[in-house]
Chain A
Amino acid sequence: MFRKVLIANRGEIALRVLFACRELGIRTVAVYSEADRHALHVRFADEAICIGPARSADSYLNIPGVISAAELTNADAIHPGYGFLSENAHFADVCRECGIKFIGPSPESIRTMGDKARARQEMARAGLDILPGTEDPTDDIDEAMGVAGEIGYPVIIKAVAGGGGRGMRVVWSRSEMASSLATARTEAGAAFGDARCYIEKFIDRARHIEFQVLADEFGNAIHLGERECSIQRRHQKLIEEAPSVIMTPELRDRMGSRVVDAVQAFGYSNAGTLEFLVDSSGHFYFMEMNTRIQVEHGVTEVVTGIDLLRDQIRVAAGEKLPHSQSDVDFRGHAIECRVNAEDPFTQRPSPGKITAWHQPGGPGVRVDTAAYAEYVVPPYYDSLIAKVIAHGANRDEAIRRMDRALHTFIVEGIQTSIPLHLEIMGDERFRSGNISTRFLDELRDPGRRQASVR
């Protein structure tokens, strides 16, 4: 087992990694930017090193800084959290070369799954259905038109190097195709340095359902069920839940084994998530794979009772998977609300000092947060300040618990998305499970519910 782990991240996930390390008796090193001097994970870590100014590029994304800190403290492993360097294959390479264990999959896996087009090819080879689309990225307008014609509009143009909701554009008809493709390529080139785009069938009213997998470095792999993340705003998840209302035990077993076979086929190790779009006839189409721990991992932890962060560390330390597929049990229903520091209706970020704070607790409520009273939410990073996870015997109970938890969550001094989450918990369609990736758009504009218009 590792003696010392460096946490190359910040905020609630840095704290989450720290918790797992403490429980395993591992010493922790926090690296932080000047803006995070008073962060909780810095306070609780055994050692802390300031690695740069506030700007992420100069601190949390500063590979020499992170590695240098690991070498100075003699850390034997680095946990990259999510975002930042977690899916940076080059960083994983550097760790390997420096003799520091990267807690995650191999650089090769990260590289393969990071290239969206290649990921689709791999998964298609492994037998998963992928959304019909261009086999390879295309800049040929005639080919694009041809493919789109075969698939049928609407289609979506996606940047190969995009992800997390960025670099996407829906095309509703043939007449827009040429200009949309040109614009998408220009934007992708500017945003990601890679103009390549591919084209996919666009499913209106899709459900976003993802499967959590965990594999060791000996070829053993299991799935831990699905999470439904259909409540999204501009492709950013807002609410996640497990299980999905459309899932049956049989469907879960069937999709689960296919997912496990797929990750074993290309030698994946550690935690990962395969994301699918599911159409109204229950057809699962592979979209992308995230080769890291996810923000919403807690939802799965709560329904399975499995500590994913602890297992990530154990697997990376060379242990065999501590559970077999038959050990994985699903109990009850869990919902997570991502509480962001923002205006609940305009989504304008709301950084600043939290003057009063009381987070909810009580039965079935878990809150993952690194915020506290008097904490100053910095303007330099993402706006997530807390994840509230409510667990109940069934979906109804989970919703009632979430509603109660949100009502008893005090945050003053900044604005948060709590009012929006409360509105969603009270929404009839949400409560009946009638959701899709268009849910939030339609909540804002009820006129859009009937017709499938832009």
Chain B
Amino acid sequence: MNLKELRELIEMVASEATIEEFEFERAGVRVHIRRGVAGVASTPSAVSAALEAMEVERLAGVASPQPEPPVSAVEDRSYEITSPMVGTFYRAPGPDADPFVKVGDFVEKGSVVCIIEAMKLMNEIESESSGEVVSIRVDNGHPVEYGDVLIVLRPR
């Protein structure tokens, strides 16, 4: 499977709104696409194809802005909280306070998980899903842009 075919495949899946998850295997390359998260698993001999596929996903604008590591095609369902604005990411309500969430915490839909500060205003970011916090992708105090993945949940 060449880069062009892979790109077309991804675009086709991405444009089909009813497809939540898609798996395809041929000639030593397995492509596993999930809406919102894209992962590529491959046999050792097709590692370069996998890396190319990551690049293709990035170009096709399907994947989240940060590419997934090639090996761990996320098999479980997961939900990404992405930034709705440009600003600075803070994990806690204040410099000495505890963070809103840590890895392993369970969050309810609608609860505040972090703050994005923009133009001196602290914007509380609420989770749109409930679930367990699997990872926190941005360091405290780091700038984020629109669409950056902030926190990943495993919905329950």
Contact = CB atoms under 8 A, between A and B. Distances in A.
B146 interface: yes
A65 B61 contact: no
A51 B86 contact: yes
A157 B76 CA distance: 63
A68 B143 CA distance: 10
A67 B145 CA distance: 12
Contacts of A69: 86, 145
A68 B61 contact: no
Interface string B119-156: 10100000000000000000000010111100000000
Contacts of B121: 64
Contacts of B147: 34, 50
Interface string B58-71: 01010001000000
B3 interface: no
Contact of A71 (B85, B119, B145, B146): B119
Given A64-B118, A65-B86, A72 B146 contact: no
Contact of B86 (A37, A38, A49, A98): A49
B87 interface: yes
A49 B88 CA distance: 13
Interface in A1-47: 31, 34, 37-38
Contact of A72 (B59, B65, B143, B148): B143
A72 B116 CA distance: 12
B147 to A, nearest CB: 5
Q: Find the residue from B59, B86, B119, B145 having the highest chain A CB count within 10 A.
A: B86
Contacts of A49: 86, 145
A34 to B, nearest CB: 6
A72 B119 contact: no
B interface, by DSSP: helix, strand, loop or mixed? Answer: loop
Contacts of B85: 52, 64-65, 68
A68 B87 contact: yes
Interface residues of A, number: 18
B64 to A, nearest CB: 12
Nearest to A49: B145
Given A34-B147, A68-B87, A69-B86, A50 B119 contact: no
Contacts of A68: 85-87, 118-119
Contact of B61 (A31, A34, A64, A72): A34
A38 B88 CA distance: 24
Q: Find the residue from A38, A50, A68, A71 having the highest chain B CB count within 10 A.
A: A68
A98 B120 CA distance: 10
A59 B65 CA distance: 17
Given A49-B86, A51-B86, A34 B146 contact: yes
Contacts of B61: 34, 37
A53 interface: yes
Nearest to B147: A50
B119 A51 contact: no
Contacts of A51: 86, 145-146
Q: Find the residue from B59, B61, B65, B85 having the highest chain A CB count within 10 A.
A: B85
A69 B87 CA distance: 7
B146 A52 contact: yes
B119 A53 contact: no
Nearest to B84: A52
Contacts of B146: 34, 50-53, 59, 65
Nearest to A71: B119
A8 to B, nearest CB: 12
A98 B119 contact: yes
A67 B65 contact: no
Contacts of A34: 61, 146-147
Nearest to B118: A68
B16 to A, nearest CB: 18
B88 A50 contact: no
B23 to A, nearest CB: 26
Interface in B35-86: 59, 61, 65, 85-86
A49 B145 CA distance: 6
B35 to A, nearest CB: 16
A31 B86 CA distance: 10
A64 B119 contact: yes
Contacts of B59: 38
Q: Find the residue from B59, B87, B145 having the highest chain A CB count within 10 A.
A: B145
A65 B143 CA distance: 12
Interface string A78-113: 000000000000000000001000000000000000
25 contacts: A31-B86, A34-B61, A34-B146, A37-B61, A38-B59, A49-B86, A50-B86, A50-B148, A51-B86, A51-B146, A59-B146, A64-B85, A64-B118, A64-B119, A64-B121, A65-B85, A65-B86, A68-B85, A68-B87, A68-B118, A69-B86, A71-B119, A72-B86, A72-B143, A98-B119
Interface of B: 59, 61, 65, 85-88, 118-119, 121, 143, 145-148
